[in-house]
Amino acid sequence: MWNISHPEMVTAEEYELYDVVCICSRYYAKKIAEQVNVPVIPLLQCTDTELFYPADTEPEAYENDFIFIGNSRGVSRPCVMWAVQDKIPLKIWGNGWAGILGGHQDLVQDISIENSRIPDVYRSSRVTLNDHWEDMLDCQFINNRIFDALACGLPVISDSCDELKEIFPEAVLYYETKEDFDRCIQTLESDYSAVKARVAAQWPLIKDKYSFEARAKELAEIAENFVPRA
């Protein structure tokens, strides 16, 4: 098993059904290892670096300013609502926003977007907002949007956990409160080139340690070392 989301849905009994368990959180892998008898290995989320990669040259003008690609989940996602409240120029792709955005439904570009289009949207935008499901943040499961966006050279404003800050201490702008969020916006507006440079500097790290290719190699090694042969 490779558990990449919603840890609250998986029981210790289910983990025990597998030869080996991979979990996309070092913190939670250690916690589960204390509860089960099967080997537990941290294996973080990653990105397809053949699709998500930096632009050859920066555009003279960005097609999009602030973006958010995601459904509402039936809740008022704070980073989105703060952006709406502050009249930040935001474009949204996702479903379920009609009853939440009120008179700002015009921000929704479409209720969905093809995965193949997302890299180009990232490369033609100034910044993306990001958040995590509460249980994933509590268990320090870093979502793949972080890796996808940074791989494209796109700055990210995100909620935070210790594990995410360990990996990207400077490349992501972090918030916990509305005041933090406001400071992130101020940082972007006051020195965007510096923010962009810190993001661009992550490309070698992502390509080396957080690519599909890197994970495929790790999974092959795990299978070789832990899975019984027929």
Residues 43-65: pLDDT tens digits?
999 999 999 999 999 888 999 99
pLDDT at 93 over 80: yes
pLDDT at 228 over 90: no
Q: Could you tell me the CA-to-CA distances from 136 to 109, 141, 143 in Å, in that order?
A: 27, 5, 8
* pLDDT given at position 75: 86
* pLDDT given at position 73: 85
Residues 1-41: pLDDT tens digits?
999 999 999 999 999 999 999 999 999 999 999 999 999 99
* pLDDT given at position 66: 98
CA distance 110 to 130: 18
Residues 147-170: pLDDT tens digits?
999 999 999 999 999 999 999 999
185 touches 191 (CB < 8 A) = no
